[in-house]
Structure 1
Amino acid sequence: MKRIAILFSSLLLLAGCDVLDKQPLPSITPENFFTNADDAEAAITAAYDAMQVAGYYGQDANVIGEMPSDNCTSTNGDVNAMERIIWTPQTGQVNNYFQNLYISINRANAVLKYVPAITMDTARRNQIVGEAYFLRGLHYFNLVRLYGGVPLRLEPTESGESSIVTLARSTPEQIYTQITADLQQAERLTAADLGGQAQNRARAIKTTVNALQARVFLTQQRWADAATAASKVLSSSLYQLSPTFKGLYPPDNNPESIFEIQYSGNADGGFVLPDLVLPSPPATYSYPKFNIPTTELIERYADTLTDLRYKFTGQVTSAGRDHASYVKATSMNVNDNGYFVYKWTSNPNAFNSPDNYYVLRLADVYLMYAEAINEQSGPTQQALNRLNTVRTRAGLPALTLADLTTQQAFRNEVDRQRRLELAFEGERWFDLIRYARHAQTGTGVSHAVTALDIIQQQRGTRDANYLLFPIPQNEINNNPLLQQNPGY
């Protein structure tokens, strides 16, 4: 599904949203719009369309998920607050992400409110409603991981009346309960397959839902549930690991992909991020780039000289650089070395790249399954097999249980592979946050590096308040029921 602008958006009070290429028709109302199958299709398309903008997966989701972490550095002032962990209630990414998540939720809510009453093919209607439940669950998951408890909106906002737009924050537990319920509904209603699903990862089906469930349950330390959800994906014939790591990039609905944001590569549907991270050329413009690989990350790849992933994750622009010089270069400034992110390589086209963006892919599910099994019962051959699948695809030798004799050793290796496999795909900071939360629970789950270590490095104190973003100040100003997160 490439990006499509539709008139349905005029229903949704999306002031400041730039996703339309036509003026909305003032005569369109919920009562006269949601009347037939075409309207239902247009509504779910609008729900997906909301995810493509720069303030969500087009840019900020990746910047937020990587720049605060140990993966990235940059001299570009636009990401300074993210890298140095000095964000405030006025920081651009903090505000943009929050706003665009609620725009996305509003569109999903409109589908959930109106589409069930439309007379149309029952199976197709159920699929559309199931997709909307999946999307709402995903958006609230992204919100709760970053902001904690937030207002829980389950109806579309169709007027600006105070009684409608003014809601207090629900607790994180209440948000997770809603996410779980939404994903259960999504799993129940979506199809096991859609026509062309093997070539198009644009829409949610049952296994898409299962992959997100695994991520949600892993975040909550619901290890058995995470393993069960992941196993449903791993048993599906719809997905296969790419034979090579290189074959994954640029993302374009390959068999390893489970769900990705789609871009058409033109002014109405282009992907912003590649021009922000690639050097020029191939990028359209030359300026200090986002997401420059840190020296420390480069060293992690270089620890094992056979790891194939570094060539396509932190590629260098200088010709003739081999593994030996790659190791030696780590003591130099990373920008001088010319390391950049090369996971999106098509023509950036002035911030209108046609490359897609992974949200969920199979290697991630392999690693989630391995982690969940290990946390339940320590190293097992079953978990090791999944871990080894990711290692050997990267050119690393398979390990044995004799190599990983303890739960902690296995945990450390899973974390290492998650970092190297998924670098720059927007999940590292969220992994580090959940590692910190795991340590806070006192369950004995410990990791070598957590978000608190990065906060200590950047701020000089292990201030746990920075495990959350602040609520945007304009939201506080407009909603007297909202209370700010501690520390802000």
Structure 2
Amino acid sequence: MTMSRGARVLAALALLGGLSACELDFTDPNQPPEEEVIVTPATLARVAVGLQAQYSDQLADPVYVTGLVTNEIGATPTAFESYRRADAGSPITGDDGPSLDPWSGQYDVIRTANVLIENVPQVGFGPGTTSGLLALAKLYKAMAFGNLYQHYESFPLVVQSTTSDAPFATRAEAMTEILRLLEEARQHLATTPPSPEFNTTVLAPGFNLAATIDAMLARYNLIGGNLDAAMAAAQRVPLTSLSEFRFATGDVNPLWNLWYNSGNAYQMRAKQSFRLQAEAGDQRVAYWVSPDTIPGATQRMDQIARYNTNTRTYVVYFPDEMRLIMAEVHARQNRLSEALALVNAVRTPCTSTLAEPVACLPALTLAQVPTQQAMLDEILRQRRYELYLQGLRWSDLRRFGQPVKYEFMPVPTIECDRNQSAPC
């Protein structure tokens, strides 16, 4: 009998939290398990299921912090003080949630991925299952490091060190590691396609592994300034389907859970500026938000329409992100006609066979965006409305040279206290 996703998630998380004779300490990224005994195919398969659930559950933290920093969302007057301070641009300390939450959550994911990377080749899986499991683990580890890269100026890449001085990587070293993991994940699949066993019993329904790897290669090569590599990866991503995290009533969407189900202290909503500053007629506004007059720490706020129910899916990347990546590469290389064609491919559709936002805006002409800067400004505008709450706006503003409330979050105090190498 096939287990539901919710049941598989619960079983996997129970395994991760309670294996006999093994303590997986998911609170300290620099302390190793006391004893590693996850050495059977069955237990490792369950860990792989748990990894996917763990990442999808942890995505709320980088999304909400990015949203507060970039004014995608704001905090209600009764929200935690640290949320209200992040909304207002006031100082954030290493003890505050916006500093601590993404750090701890993403290192939890990395440690789980490491269990798979270190053990899968040793236990006798068939070649196709081995390739699928390793590709999955390296993808999720890369995505977790990518979230850390966008939130912190530096962070350790070694997360199971036995010492108290795990080195903090430079920006270049961190990006190199993210891209290495993604390229290795892609190579696993190219060398040996995943087995039916992996696809049916491990891989989460609705998640396109190969396409997501290429989408992340496009995303992080762009962030890292590797324009040609970003273009090549984006061109490989199929634009006719979605890769998504799916949820159920017993396994709820973490954004809904944070904003609508966790009490006043956690409540955040869409800032009205997102709706009011949109181009007239942009249908994407209604996809993401619905008008309201909720009091906020800095301005009135709307409801978050996309995540106001507990089972709403979360799309890992939208096809139009790939179009906008390609448009940005063209624009930065001063190929304005090519960039404009892709921008208009994002602006003009009024319907889609996919559950994605569509703008239904008129096409632009080169006379309206005649310079490289004008084209880049338009691409940034399109990214704002196409990729709302995708956790990318902070990185976008930095890359486009726009002002931000905080350059990065401070390293959490818990890391400063235990790691002599922490730049605190």
- Shorter-chain TM-score: which interval? 0.7 to 0.9
User: Separation in 2 of the partners of 1:435 and 1:186?
Assistant: 29
> Which residue, out of 139, 142, 148, partners 1:143?
148
User: Which residue of the partner structure matches residue 312 of structure 1?
Assistant: 287
Contact map agreement 2:23 2:35 (CA 8 A) in 1: no
The aligned residue for residue 340 of structure 1 is 303
Cα RMSD of the aligned pairs, angstroms, is 2.9
Deviation at 1:167, TM superposition (A): 0.8
CA drift at 1:174: 1.2
Conserved? CA contact 1:147–1:470, under 8 Å = yes
Q: Are the structure 2 counterparts of residues 287 and 340 from structure 1 closer, same or farther at C-alpha, using a change threshold of 3 Å?
A: farther
Aligned residue type for 1:369: M
1:299-378 aligned at under 5 Å gives the runs: 299-301=276-278, 303-304=279-280, 306-316=281-291, 335=300, 339-346=302-309, 353-378=310-335
How big is the shift at 1:189?
0.9
Deviations 1:101-158 (A, max 9, x none): 111111101100000112122111111101111111111111122112211126xx4x
Is the contact between residue 245 and residue 313 of structure 2 (CA under 8 Å) also seen in structure 1? yes
Cα distance per residue 1:1-48 (max 9 Å; x no partner): 54332414444533569xxxxxxxx9x9534x3122x23311211222
Unaligned runs of 5+ in 1: 18-25, 241-254, 319-332, 347-352, 437-449, 456-465
Describe the shift of the 1:294–1:430 C-alpha distance in structure 2 as closer, same or farther (beyond 3 A): farther
User: How big is each residue's C-alpha offset from its partner over 1:289-314, in whole Å with a ceiling of 9 and x where there is no partner?
Assistant: 4133233x22322x32x211222323
Aligned residue for 2:423, secondary structure, equals coil
Question: What is the CA-CA distance between 1:261 and the residue it aligns to?
Answer: 3.2
Report the 3-state secondary structure (helix = DSSP H, G, I; strand = E; otherwise coil) of the residue aligned with 1:408. helix
In the alignment, structure 1 residue 13 sits paired with structure 2 residue 24 = yes
Separation in 2, partners of 1:285, 1:87: 22
CA distance in structure 1 between the aligned counterparts of 2:178 and 2:388, rounded to whole angstroms? 26
Residue of structure 1 in register with 2:344 after alignment: 388
Query: Which amino acid letter does the alignment assign opposite residue 64 of structure 1?
Result: V
Q: Distance in 2 between matches of 1:74 and 1:163?
A: 39
Q: Spell out the pairing of 1:388-427 with structure 2 (5 A cutoff).
A: 388-393=344-349, 394-427=359-392
1:265 partnered with 2:249: yes
> Displacement, 1:209?
0.8
Residue 228 in structure 1 maps to residue 217 in structure 2? no
Distance of 2:110 and 2:176 partners within structure 1: 16
SS in 1 for 2:336: coil
Counterparts of 1:287 and 1:339, CA distance in 2: 17
| Counterpart-to-counterpart distance in 1, 2:315 and 2:275 | 22
How many residues end up aligned between the 2 structures?
386
The one-letter code matched in structure 2 to 1:364 is E
Q: What fraction of aligned residue pairs are identical, expressed as a percent?
A: 22
Q: Structure 2 vs 1, CA of residues 221 and 12 (structure 1 numbering), >3 Å: closer, same or farther? A: farther
Give a deviation string over 1:241-290, Cα, whole Å, max 9, x none. Answer: xxxxxxxxxxxxxx3x23x3333322xx2224225546xxxx79778941
Q: Which residue identity lines up with residue 246 of structure 2 in the other structure? A: Q
Equivalent-residue separation in structure 1 for 2:119 and 2:322 (angstroms): 34
Q: Name the amino acid aligned to 1:467.
A: E
Name the structure 1 match of 2:86. 82
Normalising by structure 2, what TM-score? 0.82
Aligned residues of 2:164 and 2:418 also touching (Cα < 8 A): no
In the other structure, the counterpart of 2:356 is none
* Structure 1 residue 431, shift from structure 2 partner: 1.2
Specify whether residues 284 and 222 from structure 1 end up closer, same or farther in structure 2 by C-alpha distance, changes over 3 A only.
closer
- The alignment's TM-score, normalised by the length of structure 1, stands at 0.72
Distance in 1 of aligned mates of 2:412 and 2:51: 23
Q: Match of 2:36?
A: 30
Question: Following superposition of structure 1 onto structure 2, how do residues 108-257 of structure 1 map, counting pairs within 5 Å?
Answer: 108-153=113-158, 157=160, 163-164=162-163, 166-190=165-189, 202-203=206-207, 205-233=209-237, 236=238, 239-240=239-240, 255=241, 257=242
SS at match of 2:328: helix
SS at structure 1 position matched to 2:168: coil
Counterpart position of 1:463:
none
Shift of 1:91: 0.7
CA contact (8 A) 1:89 1:470 kept: yes
Measured against aligned partners, the alpha-carbon deviations of 1:172-222 in whole angstroms (never above 9, x if no partner) come to 21111111111110111136787589x966545222111111111111121
Distance apart, 1:345 and its partner CA: 3.8
For 1:107, the equivalent position in structure 2 comes to 112
Report the CA distance between 1:81 and its aligned residue: 2.8
Deviation at 1:63, TM superposition (A): 0.9
Contact 2:106 2:144 in 1 (8 A): yes
Q: What does residue range 36-75 of structure 1 map to in structure 2 within 5 Å?
A: 36=41, 38-53=42-57, 56-57=58-59, 59-75=60-76
